[in-house]
């Protein structure tokens, strides 16, 4: 059975036959269409649409007061985005055909067959979901804006690729299809999965599990649960994580390490939206949206026959690849500021200042552990900090025991962090002078007298330099780090 797309608006049934209306509503709810409203007085339909709207309207053609034919005309004129399905008796087929010519999506003949009803409604809801995705995709392609920036507040970035990912997530978040998130360890795959969940509109929980190292028995019990007495030690019935994530999101991390037998069970869950708890022969239905993550190259795993090709294609309908931190160096000062304040709060200290040389030191590192590694380095530096500013040495302790990793600057073979790495080139005297004046003014909060004292020059000299500036020139290329607000460099 196909899965019902995420519903934010109800399916509205308008039929003066209360019994027929209730039976159709019950059939749809059992099929996973949770939000169904019945109206037995056709005069109440238009006020309901005006106040609440609907994802789909099913109309009986023959009703007292307002007929289905009349209601269809009002809905197509006033609510063109709402799909309508008409319900007719066998002797009303000509009217049903006329209604379809006027814009009805489909028609159902009474008595309405359950499978036909379910198929018709799910197809209509799926069409609505696709139209919504197309509208979002059009906006994504034409506009550089986010509808829900708060959903990404846990992911600090200035990178254009990351912003593009945020826009893509807004497009696909409401889709019921699986999402695959790839990227190196420590880039923030679970944070992205949580953003997908927040934007999806689902009401259930976000349930996370790392499946790396789980054998098939443990995987099956963890996800699907078991009946009492299913195996030795099963003293009580236990629901699995699929049940816990009902109506929400099930996040499976490290999916590339999944056992082959477990891959088959996951594939069935994704295709049929059903599963068996251990020890049970009763099928359970799943309403959880599945999001997976991996830091492995699944194409290589498939070639090595370690990962099923059919499962891969089922999982990567929507694919989010998060770039490593070394490819977005503009995020390093931003994340540094965030982690300094988080660490200071944890250790009940004031956030220490950071020497410019320390930022240069961090900008030259390739961060094989990505954001997680940077956070660990900052927390360690703040924990050990006693006085003064954090220097390059403050962030070096953890690296001394690590295997050598190539720096972004392949020409730097000495291990020293040079002035070229900081500026991106060998700077001129003018560039250094301009930069030092800016830094002194930043450190002194704009106090020219104090800045002059720090630099060992007169106040008049700084004033003259500032007056001689018109606009920043192309040759004065300063590193990105000093542009970050609220980060105390010294």
Hey, what domains does the chain have and what are their CATH numbers? Answer: 11-135 (3.40.50.2300), 144-323 (3.40.50.300), 326-415 (1.10.8.60)
Closest alpha carbon to 13 in 80, 76, 63, 74? 63
Could you tell me if 276 and 232 are in contact, meaning their C-beta atoms sit under 8 angstroms apart?
no
**Taken in order 338, 339, 343, 344, is the CA torsion positive or negative?**
negative
Closest alpha carbon to 60 in 46, 79, 74, 41? 41
A 10 A CB-CB count for 164 gives: 12
A 10 A CB-CB count for 267 gives: 16
Q: Provide the whole-model pTM.
A: 0.61
Cα 137 to Cα 142: distance, rounded to the nearest angstrom? 9
Closest alpha carbon to 225 in 265, 259, 271? 265
- Phi and psi torsions of 296, nearest 5°: -100, 160
Q: CA of 122: how far to CAs of 32, 37, 56, in Å?
A: 9, 16, 10
Q: CA of 477: how far to CAs of 58, 423, 451, in Å?
A: 64, 7, 21
Could you tell me if 57 and 82 are in contact, meaning their C-beta atoms sit under 8 angstroms apart?
yes
Site of tokens 């004292």: 453
Nearby residues of 88 by Cβ (< 8 Å), 6 or more positions away? 60, 61, 62, 95, 96, 107, 108, 109, 110
Closest alpha carbon to 312 in 208, 213, 182, 210? 182
pLDDT digits (tens, 9 = 90+) for 302-323: 999 999 999 999 999 899 999 9
- Please report the DSSP string for 100-141 in residue order: HHTT--EEEESSPPHHHHHHHHHHHHHHHHHHHHHHHHHHHH
pLDDT digits (tens, 9 = 90+) for 54-112: 989 999 888 888 888 889 889 988 888 888 998 887 666 677 777 888 888 888 888 88
Distance from first CA to last CA of the chain, Å, rounded?
63
Q: Is the peptide bond before 467 cis (omega within 30 degrees of 0)?
A: no
Cα 45 to Cα 94: distance, rounded to the nearest angstrom? 24
Please tell me the predicted confidence (pLDDT) of residue 138: 59
Residue 488 burial by Cβ neighbours in a 10 Å radius (0-12, 13-18, 19+)? middle
Q: What is the pLDDT along the chain (490 residues), one digit of tens a residue?
A: 455 555 568 899 999 888 989 999 999 888 878 789 999 999 999 999 998 889 899 998 888 888 888 898 899 888 888 889 988 876 666 777 778 888 888 888 888 888 889 888 888 887 777 776 666 665 555 556 788 899 999 999 989 899 989 999 998 888 888 999 999 999 999 999 999 999 988 888 999 999 998 999 999 999 999 988 888 777 888 889 999 998 899 999 999 999 999 999 999 999 988 899 999 888 888 889 999 999 999 999 999 999 999 999 999 989 999 999 999 999 999 999 999 999 999 999 999 998 888 888 888 888 999 999 999 999 999 999 988 889 888 887 445 444 444 444 444 444 444 555 455 566 777 777 777 887 777 766 677 877 777 677 888 888 888 887 644 443 334 443 333 334 544 4
Residue 221 burial by Cβ neighbours in a 10 Å radius (0-12, 13-18, 19+)? buried
Could you tell me if 245 and 262 are in contact, meaning their C-beta atoms sit under 8 angstroms apart?
no
- Please report the DSSP string for 167-229 in residue order: HHHHHHTT--S-EEEE-STTS-HHHHHHHHHHHH---S-EEEEE-TT--HHHHHHHHHEE-TT
């Amino acid at each position: 059975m196909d899965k019902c797309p995420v519903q934010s608006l109800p399916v509205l049934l308008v039929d003066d036959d209360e019994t027929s209306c209730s039976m159709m509503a019950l059939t749809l709810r059992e099929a996973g269409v949770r939000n169904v409203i019945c109206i037995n007085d056709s005069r109440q339909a238009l006020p309901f649409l005006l106040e609440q709207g609907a994802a789909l309207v099913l109309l009986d053609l023959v009703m007292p007061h307002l007929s289905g034919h009349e209601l269809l005309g009002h809905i197509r004129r006033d609510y063109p985005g709402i799909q309508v399905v008409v319900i007719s008796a066998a002797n009303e087929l000509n009217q049903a055909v006329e209604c379809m010519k006027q814009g009805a999506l489909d028609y159902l003949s009474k008595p309405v067959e359950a499978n036909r009803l379910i198929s018709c409604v799910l197809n209509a809801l799926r069409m609505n979901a696709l139209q919504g995705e197309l509208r979002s995709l059009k906006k994504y392609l034409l506009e550089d804006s986010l509808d829900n920036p708060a959903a990404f507040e846990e992911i600090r970035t200035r990178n254009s690729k990351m912003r593009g990912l945020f826009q893509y997530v807004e497009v696909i978040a409401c889709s019921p299809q699986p999402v695959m998130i790839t990227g190196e360890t420590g880039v923030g795959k679970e944070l992205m999965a949580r953003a997908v969940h927040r934007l999806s509109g689902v009401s259930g929980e976000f349930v996370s599990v790392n499946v790396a190292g789980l054998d098939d028995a443990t995987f099956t019990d963890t996800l699907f649960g078991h009946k009492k007495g299913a195996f030795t030690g099963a003293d009580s019935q236990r629901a699995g994580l699929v049940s816990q994530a009902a109506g929400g999101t099930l996040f499976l991390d490290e999916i590339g390490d999944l056992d082959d037998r477990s891959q088959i069970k996951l594939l069935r869950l994704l295709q049929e939206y059903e599963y068996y708890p251990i020890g049970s022969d009763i099928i359970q239905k799943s309403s959880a949206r599945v999001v997976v993550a991996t830091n492995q190259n699944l194409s290589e795993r498939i070639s090595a026959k370690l990962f099923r090709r059919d499962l891969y294609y089922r999982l990567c309908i929507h694919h989010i690849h998060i770039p490593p931190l070394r490819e977005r160096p503009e995020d390093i000062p931003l994340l540094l500021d965030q982690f300094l304040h988080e660490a200071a709060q944890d250790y009940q200290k004031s956030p220490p200042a950071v020497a410019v040389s320390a930022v240069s030191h961090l900008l030259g590192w390739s961060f094989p552990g990505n954001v997680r590694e940077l956070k660990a380095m900052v927390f360690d530096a703040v924990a050990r900090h006693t006085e003064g500013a954090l220097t390059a040495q403050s962030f070096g302790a953890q690296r001394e025991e690590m295997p050598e990793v190539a720096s972004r600057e392949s020409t730097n073979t000495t291990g020293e962090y040079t002035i070229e790495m900081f500026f991106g080139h060998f700077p001129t005297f003018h560039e250094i002078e301009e930069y030092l004046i800016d830094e002194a003014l930043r450190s002194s909060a704009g106090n020219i007298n104090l800045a002059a004292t720090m630099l060992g020059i007169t106040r008049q000299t700084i004033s003259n330099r500032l007056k001689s500036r018109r606009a920043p020139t192309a040759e004065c290329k300063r590193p990105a780090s000093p542009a970050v607000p609220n980060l105390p460099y010294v």
